[in-house]
Amino acid sequence: MSTEHSIIIESELEEDTGTWETLLSRVIPAALEAEGVTVPCEVDVLLTDDEGIHQINLEQREVDRPTDVLSFPMFEFAPGEPPTDDADADPETGLVPLGDMVISLERARAQGEEYGHGTEREVAYLAVHSVLHLLGYDHMDEGHMKAQMRAREEAILNSLGISRD
């Protein structure tokens, strides 16, 4: 039985983002399920371009450059210890608000091309990467935590049939 999560996707872009909304509505709940999240959660996603994500990066993190994805967790979870009860749920919605993710589709396209696996896999990867951040994973150290996060990302993407080819 899958948990009903609310994935709210907004776009600052002129283009039709229906393809990405469909992909994200499949990938984000799968990542939550793979991480053992058993309570209904809300994740807010903003699709933007390099200029948009640059502005958010500057305002929120004082980093004066664009990036591919930003994650703004609502809570501090430990990796592998996701929310399992509704103690943090919004009383009005009954959903645990995990936080926000911002994805630059412009950067995802460039990186998908650069890495040779295409935009769809790159957007899926960035979404899974962000979900893991919302659930407490970090990769600021270049050692164990980064390796743990990469292993989870690959396992989740492989379970969805989204490979590097």
Q: Which of 162, 116, 154 is nearest to 34 (CA)?
A: 154
pTM of the model as a whole:
0.93
5 DSSP assignment: -
Task: Give helix then strand counts, H and E, for the chain.
Answer: 5, 4
Going from N- to C-terminal start, the domains of the chain cover: 6-159
Cα end-to-end span (Å), the chain? 30
Q: At what angle do helices 105-114 and 50-61 cross, to 10 degrees?
A: 110
Q: In sequence order, which residues have a C-beta less than 8 Å from that of residue 80 and are 6 or more positions away?
A: 35, 36
Across the range 87-102, mean pLDDT stands at 94
105, amino acid identity:
L
Q: Which superfamily does 6-159 belong to?
A: Metalloproteases ("zincins"), catalytic domain (3.40.390.30)
User: Considering only 15-24, 55-64, 138-147, which range has the smallest mean pLDDT?
Assistant: 138-147
Across the range 90-98, mean pLDDT stands at 94
Across the range 44-60, mean pLDDT stands at 97
Please check whether residue 103 is in contact with residue 69, taking contact to mean a CB–CB distance below 8 angstroms: yes
Distance CA 120, CA 109 (A): 8
Q: Which of 80, 72, 83 is nearest to 43 (CA)?
A: 72
